[in-house]
Amino acid sequence: MTFAQRLTAAWYASELKPLTLALTPLAILFAAVATTRRALYRAGVLRVERLPVPVIVVGNITVGGSGKTPLVAALAKALAEHGWHPGIVSRGYGRTRDATAASPRLVTPDADPADVGDEPLLLARAGWPVAIAPDRSAAGRALLAAHPHCDVILADDGLQHYALARDVEIAVVEDARGFGNGWRLPAGPLREGPLRLASVDAVVTLVAGDAAPARTPAGGFWMTLAGDRFHRVAAPEVTAEAEAFAGSNVHAVAGIGHPARFFRQLRGLGIHAVAHPFPDHHRFVAADLAFPNAEAILMTEKDALKCLAFADARCWYLPVAARIDPALVARVEEKLRGLQAA
């Protein structure tokens, strides 16, 4: 187990472990700096830029995956169905070339994930206008210059990017993991404290399974991730049902924020695979898929983007789509229409 995996396991333990206990002084310092930084933006000491169209920020208060990108895609689709023309901005996490480049870049469907990041590329391949930059305001300006028809911008993972003014804030919480041990980074998984959720416009809980929950999470909205048809990495037009892998010698890899969620989804589909977790945004190489006896190697769609160059016929990916609470779409629409009327 790598240090990152041991640290993540400690974050989600029920109490502080020796590893996280040793990091609590840094966590206290992190919390103080983060609180001061937000206060300086709110007071106008640090500059906040407002774009000429409404901005919806989708983020979380923890590190790691909680379904933000699928939610952004689902919201973009829902808004488009209601007559809006959404565009998406992102920092471009996961890119390994020019990772610190400040200049905005438009993401095209044929881009290399090493240049633009895996999640922005997924969104571009879904048909949405996407721009990336560490400065999300600059990304927004570039997006609007290239796509002047866009009348609303969704920021994928920008809750703490206070330099970008926002009209709607949505925070995503994963029901299965919650807030871990409740400590700030690096002693725990929190970027900001749970009280931050009281100031957002919507809290969306990612619940297990692919069906709507029997009751809405207290004080918020729900989302699920669903998918049951696999696509061959080297030939996406070739598909297979989950039953095709139920009795095989199957291996599964996942380089996402919470790999266990993908492995749990496979089990829910009746697939008992040998699990191989990797860090989020892992840059896969051929050696990572060296399982000589495997009859099939399953992965997420995000990981498939980085395995395309060396994936063989055994490699399959599982696309997932977010199913979101209709009340969430109504809440966002209400806010946007209110801005139009103002």
Distance spanning both ends of the chain, measured CA to CA: 54
Phi, psi of 133 (to 5 degrees): 180, 150
Task: Give the per-residue pLDDT at 216.
Answer: 63
Q: What would the two tokens of residue 80 be?
A: 């488009």
Task: Give the per-residue pLDDT at 248.
Answer: 78
Task: Give the per-residue pLDDT at 41.
Answer: 96
pTM of the model: 0.93
Task: Give the per-residue pLDDT at 262.
Answer: 94
Task: Give the per-residue pLDDT at 3.
Answer: 82
Task: Give the per-residue pLDDT at 342.
Answer: 67
Rounded Cα–Cα distance for residues 310 and 8 (Å) = 29
Task: Give the per-residue pLDDT at 219.
Answer: 63
Burial 224-260 (b: 16+ CB within 10 A, else e): bbebeebbbbbeeeeeeebeebeeeebbbbbbbbbbe
Domains of the chain, by residue range, sit at: 3-85+151-223+323-341, 229-319
Query: Could you tell me if 106 and 78 are in contact, meaning their C-beta atoms sit under 8 angstroms apart?
Result: no
Query: Could you tell me if 46 and 37 are in contact, meaning their C-beta atoms sit under 8 angstroms apart?
Result: yes
Q: What is the pLDDT along the chain (342 residues), one digit of tens a residue?
A: 678 778 888 999 988 999 999 999 999 999 999 999 999 999 999 999 999 999 999 999 999 778 899 999 999 999 999 999 999 999 988 787 766 667 899 999 999 999 999 999 999 999 999 999 999 999 999 999 999 999 999 999 989 999 999 999 999 999 888 899 999 999 999 999 999 999 999 999 998 876 666 566 666 899 999 999 999 999 999 999 999 998 779 999 999 988 999 999 999 999 999 999 998 889 999 999 999 989 999 999 999 999 999 999 999 999 999 999 999 999 999 999 888 776
Contacts of 48 (CB under 8 A, 6+ apart): 41, 162, 163, 164, 165
Describe the crossing of helices 118-125 and 68-81 by its angle, rounded to 10 degrees.
20
152, β-bridge pairs: 86
Task: Give the per-residue pLDDT at 210.
Answer: 66
SS (H, E, C) the chain: CCHHHHHHHHHCCCCCCHHHHCCHHHHHHHHHHHHHHHHHHHCCCCCCECCCCCEEEEECCECCCCCHHHHHHHHHHHHHHCCCCEEEEECCCCCCCCCCCCCCEEECCCCCHHHHCHHHHHHHHCCCCEEECCCHHHHHHHHHHHCCCCCEEEEECCCCCCCECCCEEEEEEECCCCCCCCCECCCCCECCCHHHHHHCCEEEEECCCCCCCCCCCCCCEEEEEECCEEEECCEEEEEEEHHHHCCCCEEEEECCCCHHHHHHHHHHCCCCCEEEECCCCCCCCHHHHCCCCCCEEEEEHHHHHHHCCCCCCCEEEECCEEEECHHHHHHHHHHHHHHHHC
Rounded Cα–Cα distance for residues 209 and 222 (Å) = 12
User: CB count, 10 Å around CB of 79?
Assistant: 20
